[in-house]
Structure 1
């Protein structure tokens, strides 16, 4: 809930008729940004941009309550870039995001919007070599986009890197940051950045955790909201398919067959099912790639790039892909597993039917999922329609799908055995320098002793 001070400066961003919206120029943006927006085909501002840009350009702190796909990245990037144009100096802004993919996406948008200004951005996330990141930070980027853990690592370990000159701090998807228990790390980061700064906090919901974070990090903020409740867009057609648990795989393949020309994201609850279904689909001739948190960062970015470019028509993903990612032209979202929380369902299906386009979502419902579906329908205020099926065609598919499932299980077991073998070889006599250094860290040596040990090697 807003404080009394906030209430007086709170702005509602309820949808505005297209003809009533001001232009980007009328909102006060400078020519280099207008040129970049034109090149990116951003023709008119979204609701959150209309509400957030005027107070942001005045220098106010912002609390933005906006769902995924609402244009909030540009809502916080544009005022930061405009201030950078007026007063270019040192590390200017830091954006903290909950996932690596979202961090890369935000960084790309900063560089695209700031292309006429020569803006340099550094992406600092886990799964990437720390030394290469330290080199990137030494080149004095204007904007750092980071996940919390890796940002804290560099603040503590990278000589010469600090946030002392920071003018802007952005916490994007703040509700997700706190859901993922980044709270203690955020507290440490907030202690080492200047008190005199501008802060933007963007979140899909205002929870009590967000309220505490807001009080700790914002000064007399303006609160802007795109919508007050969770909802799905009107151009999204939502379907369900009620099936026995043991028939989930064959029904998934049946749906994928009937939508073979479409780009599809399939969401699973577990990494294991993500890997298994990707193998099953490839075995049956579908161009599918997996995306989950256990893949290396290069593999994750590669999978996203293949799917975005159309090189692969099917992306099988865990919820690492459900929030914030702007993947254009997704025709269908299939929920292989129903998410436990209704808001996660809304974020998942929000990958399709974006920017006024139409899209479909299909949710596989077993005998154990009925209550979850009813809860989702209550939250969204919309009933799902039943997806039509052909029982004879499903029966014909069953044997091939079962065989592909057995092959996928065996392949995953083989991969696990190879992984254990590599680990045992590393733990034997033939360790490389990086393995030995990791052992030093695990042994709990002080950092000074660690450096001496590394020099001896």
Structure 2
């Protein structure tokens, strides 16, 4: 990561630790102005979270920040409120840039900025891949106050969109910085750092302090204050974590059993591949569950559509790859199921962090097959606890196998049809909702069995 001259040298100093203070009772106690306190109240933010308590007062003093906090800790508010307060004091366009690793997270951060800043007329623009560049160029020409972007698409606009520059920028935020760098955006981040002012405030938020993040800190921050909520990997206290040890060939049957046992809850089910996400969604739809997929091979509009349907509770089961494991704030996830165990132990923390957010309780259940024992032991070692087994009635699971096998056949047929339809349209995006609808010819004489679920 290329250092930025004098500012880079100054940033080589160790980050100053923020002193532990008695937790304030409200955002007003942190120094947040009345109009923004009202906005927090309207969003239902009654009491600041730990990272907000530590970061907001320091940010309001004009210091650079390194924020280390577990997922679901309220990081967006910790950087959005100081930026909006500074914008109130000195209004200008193209005021702040927020870099994020994923498109979904960018839209979510934009929603929070718009909600917090609605009463003061704040405008934001989301600049991400998968969306028409021309409409983004028009949005940038209007000079929004806040730009939320993924690094690759932002660099594209900096190099190719006439008249667009960030020379007046006052704030830079790098959210999920460890993941930005893990996704090989280092070159793009370097390019961005070279074309924005050195005289700016920089907030770097990360779940983990990797060597790459330390390197980025030295390059981009001046004498930062470190606000660390959690120094070791851990999961939130109100999360009940379980595992089930099962034969690999019966995974689908165990998933159906758990969805039935815990019916009435909302579920996020994590799969390791896009194909398995789609297959499992089809399987569950064939059994009458309101399931919907979210993975990287879907178009951006369909990904947002899936997310919004799940958020609106129009679907109760969201099948996802790790594209949804970090950053996304979906308030009502009751149960996280690790259908495929994560190969990286840290991904377990991010996945189960989708539930038990903002003080609520939640459950997580991890499927462990005969091939996953070592990976599971690594997870237990990382979080420093032995997980209990989820209580199961194996006879009841075995009673489901025939119907599940039938649904598996239907799912395979539909996947084939979907693939053929996609090829016949020369690679256009498939209509996911249509593909997931149970085909009439398949559903024909099978309705009675599927309704049993």
1:46-445 counterparts in 2 under 5 A? 46-423=49-426
Relative to 1, partners in 2 of residues 1:129 and 1:66: Cα closer, same or farther, differing over 3 Å? same
Contact 1:12 1:226 in 2 (8 A): no
8 Å CA contact 1:81–1:114 kept in 2: the answer is yes
Structure 1 3/378 Cα, relative in aligned 2: closer, same or farther at 3 Å? farther
- CA drift at 1:83: 0.6
Using CA pairs below 8 Å that are at least 6 residues apart, which structure has the higher relative contact order?
A: 2
Distance (Å, rounded) in 1 between the aligned partners of 2:315 and 2:427: 35
1:22 CA displacement: 4.3
Deviations 1:367-398 (A, max 9, x none): 11111111111111222111122222222211
- Distance in 2 (CA, whole Å) between partners of 1:25 and 1:390 is 52
**CA distance, structure 1, for counterparts of residue 283 and residue 383 of structure 2:** 32
State the alpha-carbon separation in 1 of the partners of residues 130 and 427 from structure 2.
Answer: 22
The runs of at least 4 aligned residues of structure 1 exceeding 3 Å deviation read 2-7
Structure 2, unaligned runs of 5 or more: 1-9, 429-453
Cα distance in 1 for partners of 2:54, 2:398 equals 54
TM superposition shift of 1:5: 3.8
Cα displacement (A) at 1:341 = 1.5
Q: Whole-Å Cα distance in 2 between the matches of residues 6 and 59 of structure 1?
A: 18
Counterpart CA distance in 2 for 1:48 and 1:254 is: 38
> What corresponds to 1:432 in structure 2?
none
In 2, the alpha carbon distance for the partners of 1:321 and 1:420 equals 27
Does the Cα contact within 8 Å between 2:243 and 2:390 map onto a contact in 1? Answer: yes
> Is 2:11–2:222's contact at 8 Å kept on the other side of the alignment?
no
* Contact 1:331 1:359 (C-alpha < 8 Å) held by counterparts: yes
CA drift of 1:175 comes to 0.4
Using the alignment, how far apart are the partners of 1:4 and 1:229 within structure 2? 24
Segment drifting more, 243-252 vs 92-101: 243-252
Partner deviation per Cα, 1:315-365 (whole Å, 9 max, x = no partner): 000011110111011110000011111211011011111122111111110
Equivalenced residue count is 420
- Give the match for residue 14 of structure 2: 6
Corresponding residue SS for 1:385: coil
Question: CA offset at residue 23 of structure 1?
Answer: 2.3
- What is the Cα deviation at residue 407 of structure 1? 1.4
Q: Deviations over 1:227-267 (max 9, x none)?
A: 10011112111111111111111111111111121100000
Classify the secondary structure of the residue corresponding to 2:14.
helix
2:202 counterpart SS class? strand
Q: Which TM-score applies when normalising by structure 2?
A: 0.90
SS in 2 for 1:384: coil
Contact 1:241 1:365 in 2 (8 A): yes
For 2:415 and 2:268, how far apart are their aligned partners in 1? 21
Please list every run of 5 or more consecutive structure 1 residues that lacks an aligned counterpart in the other structure.
426-457
Q: 1:142 and 1:424, CA in 2 relative to 1: closer, same or farther beyond 3 A?
A: closer
Q: Confirm or deny: 8 A CA contact 2:265 2:334 kept in the other structure.
A: yes
CA contact (8 A) 1:349 1:361 kept: yes
More off after superposition, 312-321 vs 377-386: 377-386
Q: Report the CA distance between 1:107 and its aligned residue.
A: 0.5
Q: Retained in 2: the 8 A contact 1:94–1:143?
A: yes
